[in-house]
C-alpha cells in the first residue's frame, strides 16, 4: 500500500482508533481520513451498501479449469511458483497486478490463488475495483490444491535440467 494512500479504519470500538492510528503512523501511514465504528455488523444492520467478494473452493476450481470456464491468476512470488503451479495458470506477482490488470480479459470469470488465500483475497479486491465483474478468491489456495493431491507443474530451470 502506498504511504500516501487514504485510510479508513473499520473497528469494533471507538476507543481503539487512537491506538491503531499510532501504529499506522509508526509505519509511515498518516493519511487517516475516517473510521467506521462499531464495525461492519452495525453497518450491515443499518442497511448501508457493501461489496462482496466471491469465493471458490479448490474442488470447484478444478472443475471450472477442466471445462475451461475460468482464467486462473496465481499471485505468488516467483520462488513459490517454481515449487509448483497449476497448469494453465497465469502468474502475475501480487505487487504487479495493479498495472498488469488491463492485460486480462474482462469477459471471462477470473479465479485468483496464492499459497493460502490471503494475498489472493487482496488481489481479487484489486480486480473488482478495476471493474472486473466475476472474480473469485480460491479458498485455501495452493495449500488446499496440494492437500487434495491435485496435479501441479514444476518450473525447471536450465541449471536443474543440466544437473539431472
Q: For residue 9, give every residue at least 6 positions away whose Cβ sits within 8 Å of its Cβ, in sequence order, or none.
A: 17, 20, 21, 32, 34, 35, 36
Known catalytic residue: 114? yes
- Triad 142, 134, 91: Cα angle to 5°: 40
The secondary structure of residue 12, as a DSSP letter, is S
Q: Is 66 helix (H, G, I), strand (E, B) or coil?
A: helix
Q: Among the options 33, 37, 54, 114, which is catalytic? A: 114
Instruction: Supply 8's cell numbers.
Output: 479508513
Place of cell 509508526: 26
Question: Would you name the residues annotated as active-site residues?
Answer: 114
Amino acid at each position: 500500500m502506498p504511504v500516501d494512500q487514504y485510510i479508513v479504519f473499520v473497528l469494533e470500538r471507538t476507543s481503539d482508533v487512537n491506538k491503531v492510528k499510532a501504529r499506522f503512523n509508526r509505519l509511515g501511514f498518516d493519511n487517516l481520513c475516517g473510521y467506521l465504528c462499531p464495525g461492519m455488523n452495525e453497518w450491515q444492520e443499518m442497511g448501508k451498501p457493501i461489496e462482496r467478494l466471491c469465493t471458490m473452493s479448490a474442488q470447484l476450481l478444478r472443475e471450472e479449469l477442466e471445462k475451461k470456464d475460468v482464467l486462473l491468476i496465481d499471485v505468488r512470488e516467483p520462488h513459490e511458483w517454481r515449487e509448483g503451479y497449476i497448469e494453465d495458470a497465469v502468474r502475475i506477482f501480487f505487487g504487479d497486478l495493479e498495472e498488469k490488470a488491463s492485460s486480462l480479459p474482462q469477459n471471462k470469470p477470473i479465479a485468483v490463488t496464492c499459497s493460502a488465500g490471503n494475498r489472493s483475497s487482496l488481489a481479487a479486491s484489486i480486480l473488482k475495483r478495476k471493474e472486473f465483474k466475476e472474480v473469485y478468491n480460491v479458498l485455501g489456495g495452493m495449500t488446499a490444491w496440494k492437500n487434495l493431491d491435485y496435479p501441479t507443474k514444476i518450473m525447471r530451470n536450465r541449471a536443474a535440467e543440466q544437473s539431472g
